[in-house]
Amino acid sequence: MSTFTTTDGTEIFYKDWGPKDAQPIFFHHGWPLSSDDWDNQMLFFVSEGYRVIAHDRRGHGRSNQTDIGHDMDTYAADVAELIQELDLRNAVHIGHSTGGGEAARYVARAEAGRVAKAALLGAIPPLMLKTDANPDGVQMEVFDGFQSALIANRAQFYLDVSSGPFFGFNHDGAEVSQGQIQNWWRQGMMGSASAHYQCIEVFSETDQTEDLKAIDVPVLVMHGEYDQVVPIANSAHKAVKLLKNGTLKTYEGLSHGFFATHPDLVNADLLAFINA
């Protein structure tokens, strides 16, 4: 099992597959999951000859269940330390949901030569929360409800999320996958309740407008038009306008977890972007 220890003593689990001299693709997972959420994409891209890397964010998956460092700056700093440890250069960063925010924060501040491109899938930037400056954002009461549900019965909350809005399985005519529901629940329950509770504040209240403006590499913004978790109008539609070199790709009728429900479609679009 591959792990490294950050400067604040947190042990981070990661996967590193494929030729070490190939172009690296680094995957950033969403809340409250782990690097396992990217298994399909990692298997696909390693078969295409790439080096693929994914970590379990601190407090998530197999990484230490630390109760410190749950903020976007620390998440991005952990990524920067791992990338320095592995000496990754010319990498493509792919982030989903909260992982999209983590990827954006890292890429915006990365050392020259470390990043080639980025893809943000169902990502939280620029800001999820409704504020005076972001009037069409999500009400604070929604995120308060997430935290209350996590405290009351985390196992049931995670089952409800994965059975319903995350994959769009509450949509009429949806093809429900019990395996995906159970895999989502498994990943979530591996992590720390404290880390997950704190991360709700991170993904809802972190304003990443300046991160998006600072990114100068090509960025593909991908989003399901039926995303019930991160509304497309408040995220992807705004994000692409803030990026210097952004392209928007949306998917009619697809959910927040569209890369998991439709991997063949998404993998082909990612490959075309990376190869362009």
pLDDT (0 to 100) of residue 268: 98
pLDDT (0 to 100) of residue 212: 98
Across the chain, mean pLDDT equals: 98
CA dihedral sign, ordered 220, 75, 31, 90: positive
pLDDT (0 to 100) of residue 5: 98
In whole angstroms, give the CA distance from residue 176 to residue 65.
31
pLDDT (0 to 100) of residue 104: 99
pLDDT (0 to 100) of residue 95: 99
In whole angstroms, give the CA distance from residue 152 to residue 21.
48
pLDDT, tens digit (0-9, with 9 covering 90-100), for 115-131: 999 999 999 999 999 99
pLDDT, tens digit (0-9, with 9 covering 90-100), for 140-174: 999 999 999 999 999 999 999 999 999 999 988 89
pLDDT of 1 over the 80 cut:
no
Greatest CA separation for the chain: 49
Of the pLDDT bands very low, low, confident and very high (cuts 50, 70, 90), residue 274 is: very high
At 222 the three-state DSSP class reads strand
Is 227 an active-site residue? yes
The one-character DSSP state at 13 is E
Of the pLDDT bands very low, low, confident and very high (cuts 50, 70, 90), residue 132 is: very high
Other C-beta atoms lying within 10 Å of the C-beta of residue 100: 31
pLDDT (0 to 100) of residue 196: 98
Of the pLDDT bands very low, low, confident and very high (cuts 50, 70, 90), residue 11 is: very high
Domains and CATH numbers, the chain: 2-275 (3.40.50.1820)
% of the chain beyond a pLDDT of 70? 100
In whole angstroms, give the CA distance from residue 18 to residue 20.
6
pLDDT, tens digit (0-9, with 9 covering 90-100), for 180-239: 999 999 999 999 999 999 999 999 999 999 999 999 999 999 999 999 999 999 999 999
pLDDT, tens digit (0-9, with 9 covering 90-100), for 30-87: 999 999 999 999 999 999 999 999 999 999 999 999 999 999 999 999 999 999 999 9
pLDDT (0 to 100) of residue 211: 98
pLDDT (0 to 100) of residue 173: 87
Catalytic residue among 34, 35, 63, 97: 97
Q: What is the pTM of this model?
A: 0.98
Is 21 an active-site residue? no
In whole angstroms, give the CA distance from residue 166 to residue 256.
5
pLDDT of 24 over the 80 cut:
yes
At 88 the three-state DSSP class reads coil
Q: What would the 3-class secondary structure string for 144-204 be?
A: HHHHHHHHHHHHHHHHHHHHCCCCCCCCCCCCCCHHHHHHHHHHHHHCCHHHHHHHHHHHH
Is 78 an active-site residue? no
In whole angstroms, give the CA distance from residue 29 to residue 186.
14
Average pLDDT, integer, range 263-273: 98
pLDDT (0 to 100) of residue 172: 87
